[in-house]
Chains A and B, each alone.
Chain A
Amino acid sequence: MERAMPQAVPLGQMEVLQALQRLHMIIFSQNVSPCGKFLAAGNNYGQIAIFSLSASLSSEAKEESKKPMVTFQAHDGPVYSMVSTDRHLLSAGDGEVKAWLWAEILKKGCKELWRRQPPYRTSLEVPEINALLLVPKENSLILAGGDCQLHTMDLETGTFTRALWGHTDYIHCLALRERSPEVLSGGEDGAVRLWDLRTAKEVQTIEVYKHEECSRPHNGRWIGCLATDSDWMVCGGGPALTLWHLRSSTPTTIFPMRAPQKHVTFYQDLILSAGQGRCVNQWQLSGELKAQVPGSSPGLLSLSLNQQPAAPECKVLTAAGNSCRVDVFTNLGYRAFSLSF
C-alpha cells in the first residue's frame, strides 16, 4: 500500500515545512470557473489552487483528482476574496486586485493579466481588501476593505470611478441588491449600509447591534456576512444571524445559532450559513434549523454553490475554512468527499 512507505523514510526539512504549512493553512475564498468545471481556492499564504470538479465528481475519480491541478503564488499576502467574470478570475487580498485568465490559468507559470491598487489616502500602510463584488450592469468591480471605503473600478478601463465613504471601521462583506442597483456593505462598526450606485450616496443604514433582539454584546458588533434577496437580507457575525426586511428595516427572524457565522447565502427556499462550528447549517425562513451537515474543517469561512448552467453535473456546494481541505457536498444532506491542497 502506498501509505505505509513514508513512515519508514525519515522526513527531511522540506517535508516538515510542507506538513506544517498544510497544518496551519486557512482557505479564505473560493470561486467557480464560468464553465463550471473548475474551482479556485485561495489561502492565507497567497496561493491559489485550481481543482477540477468534473474530474473529482466523475465515476472514475482517483486520489489524484482530489488534489489541485495547479497551484501558484498569486499574492504576497492572504487571498481574502475572489470573483469571476466570464473570462477572468479576479483575486484580491493585500491591497491589490489581480486578474487571471481562466483559459490560461491551468498552464504552468501563469502570469496575472493586470493588477490594480485603489487610490488609498496614505501610501504608508496598504489596507487589505476583504471583499470583491461584480456589478454586471455597469461592468464594474467594487472593492472594500481596510480603509473603510467602497471603491468602484470600471472593468473596461481600469479606472477607479467612485469612493463611497460612510463606514467608521473596516468593511467585511459586500452584497448586491439586484432590482434597484444598490450595494450593501457590512463592517466592523456593526452597521449595514446600503449605497445607491447611481447617486453614489448612502441610502439606508441599519445598525444591527442597536436592536435588542439580535445584538450579542459579548460577541461584539461586527457584521461578518451578508446576503440579500432584493427585499430581504440576512446578516450575521457578532450579533445573531437575523433575517431583515429591507424596506421597513425590521428584523423578522432570528436564527438561534450561538456561534458567529462567517458566510451566509440564500438558496432556493433555504438559507445556508457556516461559521465557527464544523457544520453547514440549513435554515428555513421561519427560523427553524432544517439540517446541520458536518464538514471536515473545525471552522468554515466560505461557501460556494456551483450553479453555472454550463455544467449541471458539477452542481455542488463546496465549503472551506480553517484547514487545507475543501469539502464537497453533492447533495445538501451529507459531505461526499474533500479536495485538499
Chain B
Amino acid sequence: MEALTDYEVIRKRLLIDGDGAGDDRRINLLVRRFIKWVNSGSQEKGYSQYQRMLSTLYQCEFSMGKTSRMYDMNLREVENYEKIYKEIECSIAEAHEKIAECKEQILQAKQIRKNREEYDALAKVIQSYPDRHETVKELEALGKELEHLSHIKESVEDKLELRRKQFHVLHSTIHELQQTLENDEKLSEVEEAQETSMETDPKP
C-alpha cells in the first residue's frame, strides 16, 4: 500500500513539475530558506536570510498569480472559441440556404433566357418577311389595278358586243336582200318559162 501511494505521489509530482526547474523547486527553496532563517544565529545573517526568504515568497506568489491569470485567460479563450464556432455554424447554414436560393434563381434565369431566345428566333424569322403596311399598300394598289383592268375589259367587251350585233344586223339584212333577189329571179324565171311554153304551145 505504501509503495502504491508512493508511486501515486511521485507520479503526481512528476506530472506537475517533472523537470525540477519551476515552482516545486521554488517551494523547496522557500522551505530551506525558512529553516536556515530559523536556524541562523546573528541578527545581520538572520535579516539577510529573512530578506532572501521574503524574496522567494514573493517569487512564489508572483508565479501563482501568473498561473491563476493564465487559467482565467484560458477559460475565457475557450468561451470565445465556442462563440466563434457557433457563429461559423450559423453562417454555414445561411450559406447553404443562400446556395439553394441561388440555384432556384439560376433555374428561373435559365427559363427566362430560354424564353428570350425563343422570342429572338421567331423574331428573326418574322423580320425576314416584309413589313405589313407595305404589303397592305401593295395589295391595295394591286386591287385598284385589277379593278381598272376589269373596267377596261368590260368596256372592250361592250364595244365588241355592239359591233357584233351591228354586224349581225348587217349580215341578216344582206341575207334577206339576197333571198329577196333570189326569189325575184326565180319568179321571173318561172314567168319566162310559162311564157315560152305558151308560145311553143300554139292555138289548137
Q: Name A residues whose Cβ lies closer than 8 Å to a Cβ of B.
A: 231-232, 243, 245, 248, 250, 252-253, 268-269, 284-286
Contact = CB atoms under 8 A, between A and B. Distances in A.
Contacts of B121: 243, 245, 252-253, 285-286
B129 to A, nearest CB: 10
Contact of A285 (B107, B118, B125): B118
Contacts of B111: 268-269
Contacts of A269: 110-111, 113-114, 117
B133 interface: no
**Residue among A248, A250, A252, A268 with most chain B CB within 10 A:** A252
A252 B122 contact: yes
A234 to B, nearest CB: 11
A284 B117 contact: yes
30 contacts: A231-B118, A232-B118, A243-B121, A245-B121, A245-B122, A245-B125, A248-B125, A250-B125, A252-B121, A252-B122, A252-B124, A252-B125, A253-B121, A253-B124, A268-B107, A268-B110, A268-B111, A268-B114, A269-B110, A269-B111, A269-B114, A269-B117, A284-B117, A285-B114, A285-B118, A285-B120, A285-B121, A286-B117, A286-B120, A286-B121
Contacts of B120: 285-286
Contacts of A248: 125
A285 B117 contact: yes
B113 to A, nearest CB: 5
Given A245-B122, A285-B117, 6 more contacts: A243-B121, A253-B124, A268-B111, A269-B110, A284-B117, A286-B117
A245 B122 CA distance: 8
Nearest to B124: A252
Chain B interface size band reads 10 to 19
Nearest to B112: A269
Interface in B131-179: none
A106 to B, nearest CB: 33
Nearest to A251: B125
A248 B110 CA distance: 25
B175 to A, nearest CB: 63
Interface in B86-117: 107, 110-111, 113-114, 117
Contacts of B110: 268-269
A251 to B, nearest CB: 8
A250 B125 CA distance: 8
Contacts of B118: 231-232, 285
A231 B115 CA distance: 11
A286 B113 CA distance: 10
Nearest to A268: B110
- List 10 A-B pairs, minimum CB-CB distance, nearest first: A285-B117, A269-B114, A252-B121, A269-B110, A268-B110, A269-B113, A286-B117, A253-B121, A250-B125, A252-B125
A250 B118 CA distance: 13
A15 B11 CA distance: 70
Nearest to A232: B118
Nearest to B109: A269
A248 B121 CA distance: 13
A252 B120 CA distance: 9
Nearest to B117: A285
Contacts of B113: 269
B19 to A, nearest CB: 47
